[in-house]
């Protein structure tokens, strides 16, 4: 029996599916959907959600690092008063803001009905990448306490590592963007 018990993805549910050949009645088929259009639509919406979820994880890591740095006293001062910590917090906030703007722009395109898979790939890949780096910086600000489950940083980092892979690895998203940029499908080497 398949036993899957990950130590990550606390915000996601996993299932194990076994496909059995069967016929789907015509009245159960999605109207207007041919081929892989339906499944890819679902995948695109999942990637869109991930682009926003990664921002939430990044914000939680930032909030924890800020709170910790204000309360952690070192050499008679909170570590938040030191230049390196302020630089890290400033960088984290700047990157969160850029990720929010990217996701918001994608949301506007989605609402207008003119988003394309390349937009979704870019947002998912960028926001997960930056959220992971923010989690690492937050762990650094927490010092040795950064790996304790008393703080949310490692939980978010493990979750972000998993979403970096599912719904398309970064390599796949880069190939999607490369095809969009060059007009050449690298999977087949044919012009798109």
Which of 95, 133, 150, 167 is flagged as catalytic?
A: 167
pTM across the whole model: 0.81
Is the CA virtual torsion 188, 189, 190, 192 positive or negative?
A: positive
Taking each helix axis from N to C end, the angle separating 37-71 and 153-165, rounded to the nearest 10 degrees, works out to 160
Residue with tokens 């800020």: 66
User: Residue 160, Cβ neighbours under 10 Å: how many?
Assistant: 27
Q: Which CATH number fits domain 36-191: 3.30.930.10, 1.20.140.10, 3.40.50.150, 1.10.10.10?
A: 1.20.140.10
Per-residue pLDDT, 97: 98
CA distance linking residue 111 with residue 167, whole number of Å: 21
pLDDT tens column, 101-133? 999 999 999 999 999 989 999 999 999 999 999
Q: How high is the pLDDT of residue 28?
A: 79
- C-alpha 158/C-alpha 10 separation (Å) is 9
State yes or no: is 67 an active-site residue.
no
The predicted-structure confidence for 27-72, as pLDDT tens digits, reads as follows 877 777 777 667 777 888 899 999 999 999 999 999 999 999 999 9
pLDDT tens sequence across 166-178: 777 888 888 989 9
* Angular region, 185: left φ>0, alpha ψ -120 to 50, beta rest: beta
The DSSP-derived string for 69-115 is HHH-EETTEEGGGSHHHHHHHHHHHHHHHHHHHHHHHHHHHHHHT--
Give the span between the Cα atoms of 26 and 183, in whole angstroms. 37
């Amino acid at each position: 029996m398949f036993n899957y018990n990950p130590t990550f993805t606390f915000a996601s549910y996993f299932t194990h599916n076994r496909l059995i050949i069967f016929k789907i009645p015509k009245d159960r088929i999605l109207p207007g959907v041919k081929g892989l259009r339906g499944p890819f639509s679902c995948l695109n919406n999942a990637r869109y959600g991930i682009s926003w979820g990664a921002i939430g994880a990044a914000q939680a890591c930032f909030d924890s690092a800020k709170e910790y740095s204000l309360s952690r006293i070192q050499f008679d001062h909170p570590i938040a008063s030191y230049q390196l910590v302020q630089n890290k917090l400033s960088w984290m906030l700047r990157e969160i803001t850029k990720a929010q703007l990217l996701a918001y722009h994608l949301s506007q395109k989605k609402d207008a009905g003119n988003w394309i898979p390349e937009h979704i790939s870019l947002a998912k890949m960028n926001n997960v990448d930056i959220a992971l780096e923010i989690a690492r910086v937050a762990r650094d600000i927490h010092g040795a306490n950064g790996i304790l489950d008393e703080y949310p940083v490692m939980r978010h980092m493990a979750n972000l590592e998993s979403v970096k892979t599912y719904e398309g690895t970064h390599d796949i998203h880069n190939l999607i963007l490369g095809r969009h940029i060059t007009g050449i499908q690298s999977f087949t080497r044919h012009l798109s």
